[in-house]
Amino acid sequence: MNLDHIDLNLLIYLDVLLRERNVTRSASLLGITQPAMSNSLKRLREAFNDPILVRTSDGMMPTERAMQMQSSVRQILASIEQVIEPTTEFDTASTDRVFRIMTSDYGESTLMPYVLERLAQEAPGVVLDILNPSDMSFLEVEQGQVDLVINRFDSMPQSFHQVTLWRDSFSCLFSVQNPVAQDFTLESYLDANHVWVSKTGMGAGMGITPKDTNRLGWVDEALLRIGHKRRISVFTRHYQSAALLAEQKGLVVTIPTRAALAQKNNPRVVIQPPPFDIPGFEFKMAWSPLLQHNRAHQWMRRLIIDIAQSAPVS
């Protein structure tokens, strides 16, 4: 390849094209016309002697070579951004930066209210774009399209930076009129009907049933370890919806304690510890290595860590 045919702008265009896989949308994001974007794609094809993007029934798709280049191109641009980034501190008072944060409704209800309160005081121009865990993939996070992923995880890419924000336990919610309220034991727990909530806030896939014990998560795994199984009547991916369902007379909801305590002033429900041991979990914040040295990103990470360390449990 003749490097004389490649300039920094062309690499930026390549990065956006591979991410968006759409010429019109890429042009809009870069603030250029569609003909100019098409011409840049033509130059890229000539420079790399590869189609880069090809049209399929599912839209424009990157070629094998383009996929292989994608992470390297992103790393090159991140390195350049780090070199030319101003050495001055992030100006919280004047910034209007948008931070994209992927979290479940557990994170939205237990952490984000405190984050918004601090932002109003320290960086009133900051905008939060909160995404559901199912909105984007780990690959897109790794590419820096999302600033932070805040959730509990079974696993994540080894390249991610991560920190534990807090540990949480589990609690049970049920109606004051539920028969288990009179005698909440393991036996009465197993006799009740239950609401299942996704362990990560991410969809468990189509067609999940109570028989899918290998996909049901920590509560059911804890029961299996002592030789029991609960009767699940409702499946949901939302902790707050589950908490509301606890008001139904015949249902028991087992969710993280911080989410359960959002109902502590609800006179219609009772909060109790589970009648068996469920291991706690770590609530983590993770981010792409591409954003590790970004000053605005560093500031937001410090802010969230500070909030998590001081946020009340109840």
The half-sphere exposure of 128 on its side-chain side, counting CA atoms within 13 A, is 22
Write down the pTM of the prediction. 0.70
Q: Which CATH fold topology does 98-159+287-310 show?
A: D-Maltodextrin-Binding Protein; domain 2 (3.40.190)
- The answer to whether 64 touches 71, Cβ cutoff 8 Å, is no
Q: Which two tokens stand for residue 256?
A: 């993280």
Task: Give exposure, 101-127, as e/b (b: 16+ Cβ within 10 Å).
Answer: bbbbbbbbbbbbebbeeebeeebeebe
Parse the chain into domains and list their residue ranges.
8-84, 98-159+287-310, 170-205+213-279
- The answer to whether 230 touches 190, Cβ cutoff 8 Å, is yes
- The answer to whether 274 touches 221, Cβ cutoff 8 Å, is no
- Cβ-based neighbour number of residue 78 at 10 Å: 20
Nearest CA to 103 out of 94, 91, 90, 112 is that of 112
* Residue 200: predicted pLDDT: 53
Which class is domain 170-205+213-279? alpha beta
* Residue 9: predicted pLDDT: 80
Which class is domain 8-84? mainly alpha
Q: Per-residue pLDDT tens for 183-218? A: 999 999 999 999 998 755 444 444 556 666 556 788
Fold agreement between 98-159+287-310 and 170-205+213-279:
yes
Spans of the chain below 50 pLDDT: 201-206
